[in-house]
Amino acid sequence: QYSFPPAADRRMYDAEGAFLYEDSIYIFSKNRSGFLTYMYVIPDIAGVHTAVVKDSIDLSDRIVTAAALSPDKSKMALLGYTLDRKHGFPKFLSTLFVFSNFTAGNFCDGEMLRIKLPHRQFEAVDFRTNDLIYLGAEKTPIHKPILGKVDLTQLKYSSPKE
C-alpha cells in the first residue's frame, strides 16, 4: 500500500494482531475489503524488511483485531468481529478463534475452535495461562470497557458485572 487511506476495495493491509514466534513476527491483517485474513511474517531483527504472506484464512466475515500465542506456543488465538458490509461499521458480532495442533509456524493449518462472544467491540486478547485467555472490549457510546476471560478447559466466557 502506497497511499492512505486506500480505496475501499484495497483495504486489506491494515493490521492489529501480531505476536513473536521463534525468530519472526507474525502479523494478521484486518482486511475490510475481502474479509480474508492474511498472515504475514517478518524477521525479528533490526533493519528494513518486506512482510511476506505465509498463509491466509477465511474467518467468516470477521476482521481480526488481535492475536496471541499461548505461553507454551501450543495455541494461537485470533479475535475478531463482523462489519456491516454496506457501511463499513462494526456490528460487534465478536468471535474468538483458537487454533491448536498446528505445525511450527503454520498456525492456520491447525484445528480451529470458534467461540462466540457477547456483542461488544473486543480489541485485545492475551493468554494468562495455556488455557485461560483474557479479552478487552473498548468503551463505546453505549458500553463501558470490560475485561473478560475465556477458560478453554470449560469453554466458557465470563466477565465482571457490567
Tell me what pLDDT residue 91 has: 65
pTM value is 0.86
Q: Residue 141, preceding bond cis, omega within 30 degrees?
A: no
Tell me what pLDDT residue 14 has: 73
pLDDT band at 162 (very low <50, low <70, confident <90, very high): very low
CA distances for 58 relative to 28, 115, 129, 149, 154, angstroms:
12, 16, 27, 24, 26
* Residue 12 reports pLDDT greater than 80: no
Task: List the grid coordinates of 102.
Answer: 498446528
> What would the pLDDT profile of 101-139 be if each residue is shown by its tens digit?
999 899 998 899 999 988 888 899 999 999 999 999 988
> What would the pLDDT profile of 31-47 be if each residue is shown by its tens digit?
766 678 989 999 999 99
Contacts of 141 (CB under 8 A, 6+ apart): none
CA dihedral 134, 34, 54, 24 (to 10 degrees): -40
> What would the pLDDT profile of 37-93 be if each residue is shown by its tens digit?
989 999 999 999 999 999 999 888 788 999 999 999 999 999 998 866 555 555 668
